[in-house]
Structure 1
Amino acid sequence: MTIQIQPGVTLTVIPTEKYKTIRLFARFSAKHTQKDAASRTLLTSILETNSLNYPTQTALSAKLADLYGASFGLNVGKRGNLHQVNLSMTVVNGKYIEQASVFSEAVAFLKEILFYPNIQDGQFEQQTFDLEKNNLIAYIESIQEDKQSLASLKLQELFFNDDEDQKTPSFGRVEELKDVTTQSLVQTYQKMLEEDQIDLFVVGDVTEAAVLKEIEQLPFARTQRVAPSMFYRQLSKSTIQEETMTENVLQGKLNLGYATNIYYDDPKRYALMVFNGLFGGFPHSKLFMNVREKESLAYYASSSADTFRGFLSVQTGIDGKNREAAMALIREQLAALGRGEVTEEELAKTKAMLKNQYLLSLDNPQALIETAYLDTWLPETKQNQEELIEKIMRVTKEEVQAVAQQIQLESIFFLNGEQNDE
């Protein structure tokens, strides 16, 4: 059940006896912007390193050890139009070790991290700030060496080329990060606490009343919080955006971006799920079986759908000389689905794999949290386990065919190896 603690701050308790641990999770959601992404990412690094009363990483780690080896961390994410700062903590359930106070101590620890960061005289402590800022710059720059990640980010830059915010990854860019100071980061922190939508979750063998009693002690400011739309929608493009990069790599990357115009709140989402499984989502898909296995044109070939931005991507690793042949074969796989060339066995296998994937996720506390988060933000999409499975199982070959006919190629990114040009 979800409780509104105050406007813009919710608590969802998910009681279950499956686990001997309790998972606490806090998500701060704001509009994703180029300006703030890097600053919010740096903030997560600093908040998980130390605090005012645990001024070193050693002191913070010692406190977690006192909590019977609790795990704790912060990270960022992006979903559609939203930038998310996530704080998670997992502690042992006190009833199993006869220590009833463990949960309240865990909430007190989160209170320490969120409300008593290492800020003195209006700025974050300089040494930690410098270290974490340099680490984050190094991480962002290192992505240039991970060619698969680089190709994925470059494809998104092409696909969303008219929107600087959507082109920016969740962790931000070095250009904006270099401008962040110890003082400006305090403003980022205060803005997040005062303006973001805040969703709190607790999963475990707990009661709602006991959880609420502890969570209500967190002193969130009663402010006017902003809830942007989760969905990012962009107009279809009349021309295909293309970019080729040449680097000294052994394996080229050919990534394609398609507009689906199918979103999470669209009944056609289930047909898209089945389509993606048949196209490139599973080992029996057309991309995997025909592009990779049968024709050996790719080292890997897969597809993934983003129903919060109406975006579907294809990722392949190829020899540069095979670019045109790979492109033609990928086009043919999509066309075949558009012609309805799917056997009943392939359709049934895809649905069974989607069902199993979903049922396995129910054993994961974080998957339960993500479902509850979407139910809070998009209550009109809320459904139980049986309803979701039924909708997947009802998808017809004709509906998959319609999805295949609807999606449009809008961007092509190709990372070529220098040796392929010689």
Structure 2
Amino acid sequence: MSTIEEHVFKQEGYHLHMIPTKKYKTNTISVKLKSPLNREVITKRALLPYVLQQATSNYPSARSFRTALDSLYGAVLSVDSSKKGEDHVMTFRMELPNDEMLSGDESLLKQGLALINEIIFHPKVEGEALDKAIVNREKQTLTQKIKSLKDDKMSYANTRLIDEMCKEESYRFHVHGYEEDLNDITAENLYEYYQDMLSNDDMDVYVQGNLDPNEVQQIVQGTIKRQSAPNRSENKTTQQDAPSEVKEIVERQNIQQGKLHLGYRTSIRYGDKDYYALQVFNGIFGGFPSSKLFMNVREKHSLAYYAASRFESHKGLLLVFSGIDPNDYEQAKDIIEKQMDAMKAGEFSEEDVQETKQLVVNQLRETMDNQHGLIELMYHQVLSGSKVTPNEIIENVERVTHEDVLQVAKKVALDTVYFLTKEEGGNE
């Protein structure tokens, strides 16, 4: 297994992470801006990257901006927002050809970095405001996105589970913001928040490709300029124990398929010694098609259209998702809980452990083979303050024993059951 190198340079106002590799024909730039989740500004943060990518000071029209991107030999730009533990992360990504694939004097990487710098630090402004037409258009787009997530009942049920489970924690805030906030967002107050973000967010720049780390540092240092240099904030994601009495929430809508979602507390996060056993535990319990949830709830008892689990690496949560007939609520919930009881009783074989470890390792290797996936994996170190490399994660997973998985199972505690079901008197 090839070793993944990471060279980290502390720049003025940000950290540069250089990942040299000859695996790809393209180079990737990824800029991440992180701030604690905050209900007052989360909708602005969800909106902002989409506004910034539309036009800049030097490329003020959609056509001129597109021409600038096309001049980089078809470079691909994307933006998004994500929730990592109790932090909100904005990401600006660019994928562009390796200079070795082209003939030309000026570094394509340098040009790509210059455009990323333009997008983040030199947006199109009108006095003390972002471009009003762009802001209004992107507000409409975000409104549609929020509505579509409500219409997707699996996504809606997951959001509602977190609403109820984390009622007193910042993790409950919605990553894409709130529709009711959008009317109050103006080009002026969004620009004001943008200035605050530039001053206070933690910023990490990742450059990955067939490149020399020291050359990249010189190019980045001369291209991406940040005036202020905030001290990197500490990871302060809160941990809570499951309540003594499980919360049970039933919500009714005009739907045919019920959504039964369960939220568990694990008290295990990325960088903890039990994190690797948690990955294997989740795989045996509900993470793969060979898992207990899939085989028992869906296949054996035919009680679910789907049944699976996943864990949140930076918050210590394990979430179960299932789509069921509304009439099968009690039976489905009982069988899901029995699968968890079986895990706590050690009712899984050594063969289950070995097979699942291989599945987890294969999944990690697939992530590492993907340019964006590898950067996300490396960024876990920043989020957690833990310097565990991707290769060490694989080694630690391979060392997990049956006893390790059993000890993790004993830590998992049910917090909240959320059931989205049909309206009373609805069609059978």
**Gap change, CA 1:100 and 1:94, over 3 Å in 2:** farther
Residue equivalent to 2:295: 289
- Contact persistence 2:286–2:294 (CA under 8 A): yes
Matched, 1:248 2:246: no
Q: 1:278: how far off? A: 0.4
Match of 1:58 among 57, 63, 69: 63
Question: After TM superposition, what 4+ stretches of structure 1 lie above 4 angstroms from structure 2?
Answer: 419-422
Q: 1:347: how far off? A: 1.4
Residue equivalent to 2:136: 130
C-alpha separation in 2, matches of 1:144 and 1:29: 26
C-alpha separation in 1, matches of 2:393 and 2:20: 21
Structure 1: runs of 5 or more not aligned: none
- Counterpart code for 2:124: N
Match of 2:243 among 207, 230, 237: 237
**Gap change, CA 1:232 and 1:365, over 3 Å in 2:** farther
**Gap change, CA 1:335 and 1:236, over 3 Å in 2:** closer
Residue equivalent to 2:331: 325
- Counterpart code for 2:325: D
C-alpha separation in 2, matches of 1:77 and 1:14: 22
- Counterpart code for 2:165: F
- Counterpart code for 1:261: S
Matched, 1:198 2:203: yes
- Counterpart code for 1:398: E
Matched, 1:26 2:31: yes
Residue equivalent to 1:364: 370
Q: 1:381: how far off? A: 3.8
Q: Deviations over 1:309-355 (max 9, x none)?
A: 11110000000000000011001101111111112221111011011
Any idea what SS the aligned residue of 1:324 has?
Answer: helix
Q: How many residues align?
A: 419
**Gap change, CA 1:230 and 1:89, over 3 Å in 2:** farther
Any idea what SS the aligned residue of 1:219 has?
Answer: coil
C-alpha separation in 1, matches of 2:396 and 2:214: 35
* Superposed CA RMSD: 1.6
Q: Deviations over 1:269-323 (max 9, x none)?
A: 1111111000000110000000000100000000001131111100000000000
- Contact persistence 1:70–1:91 (CA under 8 A): yes
Deviates more, 1:307-316 or 1:392-401: 392-401
Deviates more, 1:341-350 or 1:216-225: 216-225
- Contact persistence 1:260–1:406 (CA under 8 A): yes
C-alpha separation in 2, matches of 1:382 and 1:336: 31
Match of 1:171 among 169, 176, 180: 176
Residue equivalent to 2:354: 348
C-alpha separation in 2, matches of 1:365 and 1:157: 33
- TM score, norm. by length of structure 2: 0.94
Q: 1:421: how far off? A: 4.8
Q: 1:244: how far off? A: 1.4
Q: 1:378: how far off? A: 4.1
Match of 1:42 among 35, 47, 64: 47
C-alpha separation in 2, matches of 1:76 and 1:70: 21
Q: Deviations over 1:334-391 (max 9, x none)?
A: 1111111112221111011011111222211122212332334545442461x32332
Residue equivalent to 1:121: 127
C-alpha separation in 2, matches of 1:418 and 1:302: 25
- Contact persistence 1:31–1:228 (CA under 8 A): no
Q: 1:182: how far off? A: 1.0
Deviates more, 1:120-129 or 1:221-230: 221-230
- Contact persistence 2:305–2:324 (CA under 8 A): yes
- Counterpart code for 1:293: E
C-alpha separation in 2, matches of 1:401 and 1:139: 41
C-alpha separation in 2, matches of 1:420 and 1:264: 45
How does 1:181-196 map onto structure 2 within 5 Å? 181-196=186-201
Deviates more, 1:397-406 or 1:32-41: 397-406
- Counterpart code for 2:304: A
**Gap change, CA 1:158 and 1:88, over 3 Å in 2:** same
- Counterpart code for 2:348: V
Any idea what SS the aligned residue of 2:304 has?
Answer: coil
Structure 2: runs of 5 or more not aligned: 1-6
Residue equivalent to 1:276: 282
**Gap change, CA 1:328 and 1:169, over 3 Å in 2:** same
- Contact persistence 2:284–2:353 (CA under 8 A): yes
| Identity value in percent | 33
Any idea what SS the aligned residue of 2:366 has?
Answer: helix
C-alpha separation in 2, matches of 1:187 and 1:103: 31
- Contact persistence 1:243–1:414 (CA under 8 A): yes
Matched, 1:86 2:86: no
C-alpha separation in 2, matches of 1:377 and 1:393: 24
- Counterpart code for 2:286: G
Q: 1:34: how far off? A: 1.1
Q: 1:241: how far off? A: 2.0
**Gap change, CA 1:283 and 1:201, over 3 Å in 2:** same
Q: 1:231: how far off? A: 3.0
- Contact persistence 2:378–2:389 (CA under 8 A): no
Residue equivalent to 2:154: 148
C-alpha separation in 2, matches of 1:170 and 1:225: 24
Q: 1:144: how far off? A: 1.6
C-alpha separation in 1, matches of 2:61 and 2:364: 41
Any idea what SS the aligned residue of 1:124 has?
Answer: coil
- Contact persistence 1:50–1:60 (CA under 8 A): yes
- Counterpart code for 2:307: A
C-alpha separation in 2, matches of 1:106 and 1:351: 39
Residue equivalent to 2:9: 3
Residue equivalent to 1:408: 413
Deviates more, 1:15-24 or 1:208-217: 208-217
